[in-house]
Amino acid sequence: MSAFQGLCQHYKQLSHFQHLGAICGWDQAAMMPSGGNAARAEAMAELALHIHKLATAPQLGEQFAAAEQEPLTSSQQAQLREMQQSWQQATVIPDDLVQAKSLAGSKCEHAWRTQRAENDWQGFEQNWAEVVNLSQQEAQIRAQATGTTPYDAMLNLYEPGTNSASLDVLFSDVKTWLPDLINQVLHKQSGESCIMPSGTFAVAQQKALGLDVMKLLQFDFNHGRLDESMHPFCGGVASDVRITTRYDEAEFVQSLMGIVHETGHARYEQGLPKALAGMPSGQARSMGIHESQSLFFEMQVGRSEGFISHLSGLAKNHFSGANSELLSQQNLQRLYTRVQKDFIRVDADELTYPAHVILRYEIERDLINGNIKHTDVPELWDQKMQTYLGLSTKDNYRNGCMQDIHWTDGAFGYFPSYTLGAMYAAQFMAAMQQSVDVNDAVASGDLTPIFNWLAEHIWSKGSLLTTDELVQQATGETLNAKFFKQHLQSRYL
């Protein structure tokens, strides 16, 4: 067996344990009763430690050196590059820190599920202090090893190849035109009226509607499922993708589009190269590219007139007793493109969303770089919300800094992916339109040409290319904000 083959076998083994963790993690969020958490957290911490041991196995260094001397195809070279990168990121963190962060994160996240509802910042803060402390330790170790700032080192876990300097360029661009655009759109929309959902939309019917929409989006139900959790996510493994939503019987609008969003993540996973299943090069390219797929589904396709026309028809089938004007294409279009300065990121519209992300980016960057304390966060949140969106979150933790799951288990550096994803999605759509009649495909109800383009240019590539190479090959240029700006202007003005 060559050194390269030995490495592949090792990473395949590692992927089997990641598989078990992905399913048990999904279960923890979607199925597990509360009393099961203590034992589950211990088991998950043990697994995280074991995965970390495999990812940092001492023989890997020599095997990488030997594999570099072997004749490899370009695909194998990409495989080696991804394995080495994941090895470098894993080896710098000591075992006890990995286990401590996993335990503290599980504990904090689990308690947060009830604490958020109770607006209990005091309780949350006590658990979160340790999560922040351990995340800062992690970031400092990573920064020393790679010669970056602590925050940039965390950023690279989710978005390899980017850094605060380039985010500052992209986000500064957005800041030059976004506030004006939001105000212009608010002015334009002030004369439009929407019918808001009223009455009851039973969970069973919402779920049936969601499943119909997933079929329209060609979700493969032989390799995945739809369930419920407090915070919607896409989990599981590529051969068995688990997406979740949460239902509110007072309305169906949020959950329905949430399902469209998660289906975008899911189809990326389902479309990854099967021959590389379990291999680092067979995985999704980055969190930003992952989000580009969910936002391509949710924003580029999902909020198009043609798609909302389908949603309108399906919603009328499932909510036969509801106001038909509420469910009309025009009204749903207005509901789904209504711009509003509001508190909650996951409920935010396409236009104000970047403001939510930039706020989080600035806070987590300063927190992880050690420039602020975790107890400063509520006040900073309040200040920035007032500056960017004119809203105060004073004493309103549940709708302020306690609203997201990400920070509860230390996923600092993740938030920028959302706005990067929106930018990638707009750039992909512009490129796709050069060869695909997107409006026609959506109108016909057979979206296959759209999915074929995504499968060819994004999904099937896994991590064989770097992010810059992927975007360059798919769109002819690297990421910039102009397509995003054009998209927003064209849709909202």
- Binding site for Zn(2+): which residues? 261, 265, 291
Closer by beta carbon to a copy of itself, 39 or else 196: 39
Residue 166 CB, shortest distance to a copy of itself, in Å, is 36
Query: Which of 2, 6, 10, 24 is close enough to bind a copy of itself by CB under 8 A?
Result: 24
Q: Which residues, in sequence order, are bridge partners of residue 224?
A: 241
Closer by beta carbon to a copy of itself, 21 or else 421: 21
- Is residue 81 a contact residue for a copy of itself (CB under 8 A)? no
Query: Which of 240, 342, 362, 379 is close enough to bind a copy of itself by CB under 8 A?
Result: 240
Query: Which of 2, 6, 10, 27 is close enough to bind a copy of itself by CB under 8 A?
Result: 27
Query: Which of 20, 186, 203, 211 is close enough to bind a copy of itself by CB under 8 A?
Result: 20
**Span near a copy of itself by CB under 8 A; candidates 108-116, 218-226, 296-304, 471-479:** 218-226
Closer by beta carbon to a copy of itself, 215 or else 373: 215
How far is it, in rounded angstroms, from Cα 128 to Cα 309?
A: 44
If you compute the radius of gyration of the chain from its CA atoms, what whole number of angstroms results?
A: 22
Site residues for a copy of itself, 278-307, by CB under 8 A, read 278
Residue 319 CB, shortest distance to a copy of itself, in Å, is 19
How far is it, in rounded angstroms, from Cα 51 to Cα 16?
A: 10
- Is residue 237 a contact residue for a copy of itself (CB under 8 A)? yes
Whole-angstrom CA distances from 38 to 23, 35, 117, 123 are: 17, 7, 21, 18
How far is it, in rounded angstroms, from Cα 21 to Cα 288?
A: 22
Closer by beta carbon to a copy of itself, 249 or else 395: 249
Contact 457, 397 (CB under 8 A): no
Active site residue 362: no
| Total chain residues near a copy of itself (CB under 8 A) | 36
Closer by beta carbon to a copy of itself, 236 or else 302: 236
In the set 82, 138, 251, 262, the catalytic residue is 262
Query: Which of 9, 36, 456, 478 is close enough to bind a copy of itself by CB under 8 A?
Result: 36
- Is residue 114 a contact residue for a copy of itself (CB under 8 A)? no
What does the binding site for a copy of itself look like in residue numbers (CB under 8 A)? 13, 16-17, 19-21, 23-24, 27, 31-36, 38-40, 42-43, 46-47, 50, 220-225, 236-240, 277-278
> Known catalytic residues?
262
